[in-house]
Amino acid sequence: MEALLVNYVEKSLEQYMRRNAVFLCERLYAEFPSEVNLQLLARCYLNNNQPHSAYYVLKGMEMAQSRYLFAIACLEMDLFCEAEAALLPVKDLCAEVPNGAAVQYLLGIIYRDTDRKNKSIEHFRKTLSIDPLFWAAYEQLCMLGEAEEAAVCFGDATVPCVQEHYLGNASSCLLIADTDHSSDSSQRFGLEYLSRSHLKQREGNNIRDICENNHGGPILTGAVRQSKNSCCSTSFSSTPSPVPTQIRGSLFFDSGLRRSARLAAGQRSLNTSQGSENKAKSLHASTKLSSETCSSTFCQGKLMETYEVAVSELETYEVAVSEFGATSSSSSTTDVKSIQHEIENTKLSSFISDSATIKSGISDTMKLLRTLGEGYRHLCMFRCKEALNVYQKLSSKQYNTGWILSQVGKAYFELVDYLNADYAFSLVRQISPYNLEEMDVYSTVLYHLKQDMKLKYLAQEMILVDRYAPQTWCAIGNCYSLQKDHESALKSFQRAVQLNSRFAYAHTLSGHEYVIMEDYGKGVECYQTSLHVDARHYNSWYGLGMIYLRQEKFEFAEHHFRQAYQINPLSSVIMYYLGTTLEALKRSEEALEMMEKAIVIDNKNPLPKYSKAKLLVTLGKLNEALEILEELKECTPRESCIYALMGAIYKRNKKYDKAMLHFGIALDLKPSIVDVAKIEAAIEKLIIPDEMEESL
């Protein structure tokens, strides 16, 4: 009964029949109350979005897998202290944490969310050292600004570790060369304990049960089976089953074991399967799956292939034995040995060939991760042009995917190239319309482009995909903000915060809306909350700097702009406002240097050029200022401030006709009321000598 219920619970989970899994597993645990069955019940609760139920049934359990599942439930409930205590060893807090890379990653998340950055970085790096394919850990390091080069984390040196981690040491196959061929043929093939009927009896069993490991990850399919290899320590899970899996495990690595060792393994496995009924029922709690067993996506196929080969060999051998039985014993022995040699040589060649193919596949995977990792690292460091160059190296199959194109769109957004960003994100919508990642950024792109209808359509599509995603409500908020409905926009951004309090961009957008509404106090609170979630969210540092600049608290403004500049040293916008703050602090030389950097970064941005011209006027370099303004006049002919500044320069050069001409053009371009007053005052004083003007 226990085995039947376990099988049906696993089947229900596999088919996403979560409610059925919960019901059956509750019956299972009521009838057979063991901690292993309790773990299965907790998995059902977690899959059914009932972390509170999993939390209460697992509280106080001490098995490694129970603590792991308990920690998952705690994280779902934001109980970081209890999650940390569950993941750390019970007795010695300094000892190595069980369960491998997944636990190290979860500890990194806990330390990140509890403002312990250094420990978080340490555990994310440890995750990658255990499992180089654990991309999520590298992603977190990139977001923290602490990632090593992708060539280090995903380099060729990691290939042997990955190979050994998932497939075992391929060199073990060479042990066949040293096999003692003097052993009796029946012993070498283990026919006394591994008959064809014995194999066929297991043919109906789900071989995938021992292949559903997930890099030691959080998605587990049964009780944890702790295991270690020479490269790293991790834990695996297998589907609880009353059928022994040791035989199948030995078949996969048949060619890598001495025949005598395989015989012993087969005998132990058969004896175990013929044990008492209680032992059979609890076998799923005691079976250990070595990390040398397969755990990759192609593992299931390899097992089936090896299984079929083994069956075929046994059939061939039995036929051979029956045929040679009619001949002399010496001739039979010689022929049997010849067949055995041929089989072993074939299997050795096949294993070596498969190992080479597997190694090649691992190398290709690591090469792909190197490219993706380097591009993502550049983007997180806001080296957007370098990121775009790296992504261009990808194959078209990889490049034309939602995730890559989203990163490309974000890179163009950071470069203030909104048209190319719009194009990249529009491709994302075509390729994967269900994808909401970075769609909040896309909504901001459309906001800057004043694409009202397109932004409305995007928001409606995102509502249809997932109305409970924070990205959806950010898009809705941007839509309202573009329509000048700032109250509704603010409510939308706050709704995004309610759905995910750690969504830093929603806090930042809320701060922007408060600034527009001139509620600077609440704007400061929103920006500070955003920085508490993500200290590298430079938009919030920039937002705080803008508030203090408007309040003429220039020292505070400089501090916050410099923080933003340290995080994103390639933003011409941040450089411009930092330079503006330095100008207000009467530090003209520093301000001029910052404006020149901004111009180098983005030659198309007119604001740093105009500010540079003003600073040159302040420093008395009028001719250089005129050259810059003449260039600006060609690029942006409708800006009244350019003509007003040129008029002031001509006035100081005593070229009153040109000064009057440019002042008149500035007025014709309909400047703001404040600028109109300044220009009219300048015209009135145009005929007054500078000495008299200064005396006034």
For 39, residues 6+ apart whose C-beta sits below 8 A from its C-beta are: 58, 63, 65, 66, 69, 222, 223
Burial level of 427, CB count in 10 A (0-12/13-18/19+)? middle
Q: How far apart are CA 611 and CA 604, in angstroms?
A: 14
674 is a domain residue: yes
User: 234 in helix, strand or coil?
Assistant: strand
99 is a domain residue: yes
Cβ 99 vs Cβ 216: under 8 Å: yes
User: 226 in helix, strand or coil?
Assistant: strand
Q: What is the pLDDT, as a whole number, of residue 190?
A: 36
Cα dihedral angle (427, 429, 432, 437), rounded to 10 degrees?
Answer: 110
Q: Which residues of 49-68 are buried (b: 16+ CB within 10 A; e: fewer)?
A: ebbebbbebbeebebbbbbb
Q: Which domain holds residue 651?
A: 638-689
Flag the least confident range among 22-36, 167-181, 282-296, 436-450: 282-296
Q: What are phi and psi of 11, to 5 degrees?
A: -65, -40
pLDDT at 279 over 80: no
Phi-psi category of residue 450: left, alpha or beta, with phi > 0 → left and psi -120 to 50 → alpha: left
Closest CA to 493 of 481, 484, 482: 481
Q: What is the CATH number of the domain that holds 128?
A: 1.25.40.10
pLDDT at 234 over 70: no
Closest CA to 140 of 126, 151, 158, 156: 126
**Which residue's structure tokens are 């269900």?**
434
Q: How far apart are CA 238 and CA 8, in angstroms?
A: 15
More confident residue, 99 or 696: 99
Q: What is the pLDDT, as a whole number, of residue 338?
A: 67
Cβ 180 vs Cβ 261: under 8 Å: no
User: 146 in helix, strand or coil?
Assistant: coil
Where among 142, 170, 198 does a domain terminate?
A: 170
User: 237 in helix, strand or coil?
Assistant: strand
Mean pLDDT over residues 483-500, rounded? 96
CB 498: neighbour CB atoms within 10 A?
11
Within 95-250, strands assigned E span 224-228, 233-237
Mean pLDDT over residues 501-518, rounded? 96
Q: How far apart are CA 153 and CA 538, in angstroms?
A: 26
Q: How far apart are CA 170 and CA 252, in angstroms?
A: 12
65 is a domain residue: yes
Tokens encoding 596: 């020149």
Note every long-range contact of 326-335, with CB atoms under 8 Å and residues 24 or more positions apart, other chains counting: 333/185
Helices and strands, number each (H, E), in the chain: 39, 2
More confident residue, 238 or 7: 7
Cβ 431 vs Cβ 458: under 8 Å: no
pLDDT at 225 over 60: no
Residue 433 pLDDT grade (very low, low, confident, very high; cuts 50, 70, 90): very high
pLDDT at 39 over 80: yes
- Give me the sign of the Cα torsion angle 357, 363, 366, 370: negative
Percent of the residues in the chain that have a pLDDT greater than 90, as a whole number: 59
Cβ 258 vs Cβ 175: under 8 Å: yes
172-201 pLDDT tens trace: 443 433 444 333 333 333 333 333 333 333
User: 217 in helix, strand or coil?
Assistant: coil
pLDDT at 323 over 90: no
CB 450: neighbour CB atoms within 10 A?
9
Angle between helix 470-482 and 452-465 (nearest 10): 160
Flag the least confident range among 189-193, 483-487, 517-521: 189-193
Tokens encoding 474: 């950010």
647 is a domain residue: yes
DSSP letter at 528 equals H
9-36 pLDDT tens trace: 999 999 999 999 999 999 999 999 999 9
Radius of gyration over every alpha carbon of the chain, rounded to an integer in angstroms: 35
pLDDT at 513 over 50: yes
335 is a domain residue: no
Tokens encoding 72: 């998952």
Cβ 183 vs Cβ 259: under 8 Å: yes
> What's the predicted TM-score (pTM) here?
0.71
66-92 pLDDT tens trace: 999 999 999 999 999 999 999 987 665
Cβ 270 vs Cβ 311: under 8 Å: no
pLDDT at 452 over 60: yes
Angle between helix 135-143 and 117-130 (nearest 10): 150
DSSP letter at 8 equals H
Average pLDDT, the chain: 78
632 is a domain residue: no
pLDDT at 375 over 80: yes
Where among 170, 197, 224 does a domain terminate?
A: 170
DSSP string, 448-463: HTT-HHHHHHHHHHHH
561-613 pLDDT tens trace: 999 999 999 999 999 999 999 999 999 999 999 999 999 998 888 999 999 99
Q: How far apart are CA 313 and CA 343, in angstroms?
A: 7
Where among 153, 170, 187 does a domain terminate?
A: 170
CA 608 to the chain's CA centroid: 36
Cβ 472 vs Cβ 459: under 8 Å: yes
Q: What is the pLDDT, as a whole number, of residue 142?
A: 95
Q: What is the pLDDT, as a whole number, of residue 571?
A: 93
388-426 pLDDT tens trace: 999 999 999 999 999 999 999 999 999 999 999 999 999
User: 488 in helix, strand or coil?
Assistant: helix
109 is a domain residue: yes
More confident residue, 397 or 324: 397
56 is a domain residue: yes
Q: How far apart are CA 142 and CA 136, in angstroms?
A: 10
pLDDT at 269 over 50: no
- Angle at CA of residue 58, ends 54 and 61, nearest 5°: 165
β-bridge mates for residue 272, sequence order: none
Q: What is the pLDDT, as a whole number, of residue 71?
A: 94
* Total domains present in the chain: 2
Q: What is the pLDDT, as a whole number, of residue 62?
A: 84
Strands 224-228 and 233-237 turn out to be: antiparallel
Closest CA to 562 of 588, 586, 589, 590: 590
Q: What is the pLDDT, as a whole number, of residue 108?
A: 95
Q: How far apart are CA 386 and CA 381, in angstroms?
A: 10
Closest CA to 514 of 149, 506, 576, 25: 506
Mean pLDDT over residues 227-236, rounded? 37
